[in-house]
Structure 1
Amino acid sequence: MKEAAIVILNFNGRQVLPTFLPSVISHSEFEIWIIDNASTDDSVEFLKETFPDVRLITLKSNFGYAGGYNWGLEQIRGHYEFFILLNSDVEVTQRWDSSLINWFEKNPDYAALQPKILSWQDRTTFDYAGAGGGFLDGLGYPYCRGRIWNTLESDHGQYDDEVQVDWASGACLAIRASDFFDQGGFDAHFFAHMEEIDLCWRLRVSGRKIGYLGSVTVFHQGGATLDRSSPRKLYLNIRNSLSMIYKNVSGFNFFGIILAKSGFELAAALGYLVKGEKEFALAIFRGYRDFWNRIGLLEKTIKKPEMEISTSGPVRLIFWNSLILRKRLFSQL
C-alpha cells in the first residue's frame, strides 16, 4: 500500500486547471489523481494531452462533491493509506503534502487535517473555506479562525499553530483512508456543501479527532464551481445544515435547535424580500422544504440519546456574538 494520493475532483474545470494544476505537480511528492465528474467541457481531453502523467478517473454522471469523491475514491480503495482531497482551484506550496502526511505519524488519534488556507486573489487574507480551522456553535453554524461569516482577517501569523478543531475544509482535506471508509465516506445526499463538516462530525462522534496545521499554507480561489453569493449555494447550505444536525443531534435537542435556527433564517428570508432579492428568500424556504421531504433518507449518527453538539470552539452562539455584539474577529470571541 502506498502512503498517500492527492485527489482532485474536477467538473468543467478547463479554465482553472492550467492555472492551478502546475503548482500541484511541481510541489507535490505523492501521486496525483483527478476524478472527473462527467464534465461537459474539454477538461478530460486537456488533461490527457497536457498532463499525461496525472492519473485520471472518469465518472459517467455528475455526482457532486460528495458522490464524486465517494465513487472515485472507491476505485483506488486499498492502494493508499491517506488521501489529500484538493479543490481544482487551489495553489499549493513546497512540501505541503509531505508535511501534512508526516504530521499524522505523530498524531495517530487524528483522522483528518487541514492546512492554513489563504485567498488566492489576496494572498495576505484568509480564505472563506476553512481559513485557520473550523468550529461549530451551539446551533451548528460553522465559523473559522480568520473568518466569521463574511468577515475575513488578514494573515499576520496569528494562526501558524497546531490545534484541534471541529471540522477541516474540503478545499484541502487530508484524511486517513481507513477513517474515510469506516464512516462510509461523504453523505452523497448532500451533493455539495457542508459534507466535509458532516463527515468530521461523524468522525468526532466515533472518538476520532480533527486537526489544523498552520505551518502549511495553500491558496484557494473559491467559487470555481458555484459562486459564494448564489441562491443555489444558499439553498444547499440551508438544506445540508439541517440534515447534518438531524443526523448528529438527539431528537429533543434537534427540535430545539431547529426552532431557533428557523427563527433566525426566517428573519433572513424576510430581509432578502425587503431588499428585493426574492431568489435568496426562496432558496431558504426551499432548503427547509427539501430537508423535511428527504429526512427519511438520512441515517442517524448519534450514539446516545443525550448527544448534543460537541464543539471545541469558544462560543455557543456565533449569531449573537457577531451580529449583536459586533465581534467580527476570532480573537474577540
Structure 2
Amino acid sequence: MTEQLTVVTVTYSPGPHLDRFLASLAHATDLPVTVVMADNGSTDGAPEEALERYPNVRLLRTGGNLGYGTAVNRAVTEYLADDDSEFFVVANPDVQWGPRSIDLMLEAAQRWPVAGSLGPLIRDPDGTVYPSARHQPSLVRGGMHAVVGPVWKANPWTAAYRQERMAPSERPVGWLSGSCLLLRRAAFDGIGGFDERYFMYMEDVDLGDRLIRAGWQNVYVPTAEILHDKGHATGRDPARNLAAHHDSTYTFLADRHPRRWQAPLRWAIKSALSVRAGLVVGNSRRKLAKGRRT
C-alpha cells in the first residue's frame, strides 16, 4: 500500500470550487497528500489563493490552456518523475470528496491487481448518480447513443452504453469518468499517459480503451463516492465545447477504424457527427441568446 499520495488537478479559473475540493480532501484519505495544480491560465486568482492557504499544494503553470490531458501529463512529468508511489489521483477541481473515497479505491486496487484505473460513484449536485462507468462506445451502441440520444432520452442504446440499468457494483468496465480517477503509475506510464490530441472530451474514453488493450482493467468502485459539480468550466462557452466534443469523438472513432478500406466508414462517421454538431450547437446558441434577452 502506498505511504503518500499525489493528487493532480487541472485548474482554469476554478473559483470557489477549488477551495471546496481542497478542504474536503482531508475526508478522502488518511495518507499524506500533495496536490499539484496544473494551471491552464487561470485569471481568477483561485490557484494563487490556494497556494497560500494550503501548505500541501503546489502550482505548475502550464503556460496556456493546453487542455486536460496535456496538463495532467505535464504535472506527472514534472512532479512524479522521481516519485516511486504506486498510485496517483487525477480529479477535476469541482469535485467534493466523500468520506474515505480515496482510501476505498486504494483498498479496491489491492483486490484488483490488474486495475490500471479505478473510479468512484459520482453524484450530481442534486444527489442523483451520474453514469460514470460505461462500456466502450462501439459503432452500433455508441453511434445510436450519439445520433438518437438527444431526441430519445430513453432509447435502449444509451441505456446499454451508460450501463444505467445495472445496480452499482464493483466491476471492470469499458471506461471511467476522468473527473476522478485513481491511476496505477505503471499502467499510466506504460501507455504513455493521456493522448494529447484530445483538447477536451473523450480523453478518458481513449485512456480506458488503451489501458484495456494493454492488458489492464478499469474498475468501478461504487463504495467510494464523490460529488461533482460538472460543467463549471465547460459551461462558459457551451457551443464551442459541444463542437469540441464532436471533434474528439471523430478522432477517437477514426483511430479505431484506420484502414484504407474503412475510409467510407470514417467519412460517414464524420458526416453524421458534423450534422449532429450543427444541430446541437445551433440549439445551444439559440438558448444562450434567449437567456440573454430575458
**Could you say which TM-score interval applies, normalised by the shorter chain?**
0.7 to 0.9
| Map of 1:16 onto structure 2 | 17
Deviation at 1:89, TM superposition (A): 0.5
2:187 aligned with 1:183: no
Q: Give the secondary-structure state (helix, strand or coil) at the position aligned to 2:86.
A: strand
What residue number does 2:34 align with? Answer: 32
Q: Is 1:246 the counterpart of 2:254 in the alignment?
A: yes
Structure 2: gaps of 5 or more residues: 289-294
Q: What secondary structure is seen at the aligned counterpart in 1 of 2:176?
A: coil
Q: Percent identity?
A: 23
Corresponding residue for residue 77 of structure 1: 81
3-state SS of paired residue (1:55): strand
Aligned partner of 1:292 in structure 2 is none
Q: Hey, what's the Cα distance between the residues in 2 that align with 1:276 and 1:94?
A: 37
Could you tell me how far apart the structure 1 residues matched to 2:205 and 2:42 are? 26
Counterpart residue number, 1:134: 134
In 2, distance between residues paired with 1:158 and 1:64? 32
Q: Does 1:52 align with 2:55?
A: yes
By how many angstroms is 1:16 displaced? 1.5
Q: Is the 8 A contact 2:195 2:207 kept in 1?
A: yes
In angstroms, what is the RMSD of aligned CA positions? 3.3
CA–CA separation in structure 1 for the residues paired with 2:246 and 2:281: 17
Q: Which runs of 5+ in 1 are unaligned?
A: 281-333
Q: TM-score with structure 1 length normalisation?
A: 0.71
For 1:274 and 1:206, locate their aligned partners in 2 and report how far apart those are by CA, in whole Å.
Answer: 39
Structure 1 counterpart of 2:71: 68
Query: Where do residues 1-333 of structure 1 align in structure 2 (5 Å cutoff)?
Result: 2=3, 4-30=5-31, 31-35=33-37, 36-75=39-78, 76-79=80-83, 80-120=85-125, 122-123=126-127, 125-127=128-130, 131-139=131-139, 141=142, 159-227=167-235, 230-251=238-259, 254-255=262-263, 257-262=265-270, 264-269=272-277, 271=279
> Deviations along 1:194-242, whole A, 9 cap, x unmatched?
1111111111111211111111111100112112981222121111111
Match of 2:292 in 1: none
Distance 1:43 1:260, change over 3 A: same
Return closer, same or farther for 1:2/1:246 CA change in 2, 3 Å cut-off. farther
Cα offsets for 1:7-29 (capped at 9, x unmatched): 22212113322233211134333
| Shift, 1:249, TM fit | 3.3
Residues 134 and 143 of structure 1 are in contact (CA less than 8 Å); yes or no, is this contact kept in structure 2?
A: no
Task: Check the 8 A contact 1:186/1:195 in 2, yes or no.
Answer: yes
Give the number of aligned pairs. 270
The structure that is helix-richer by fraction is 2
8 Å Cα contact 2:19/2:50 also seen in 1: no
How far is 1:62 from its partner?
2.6
Counterparts of 1:22 and 1:171, CA distance in 2: 17
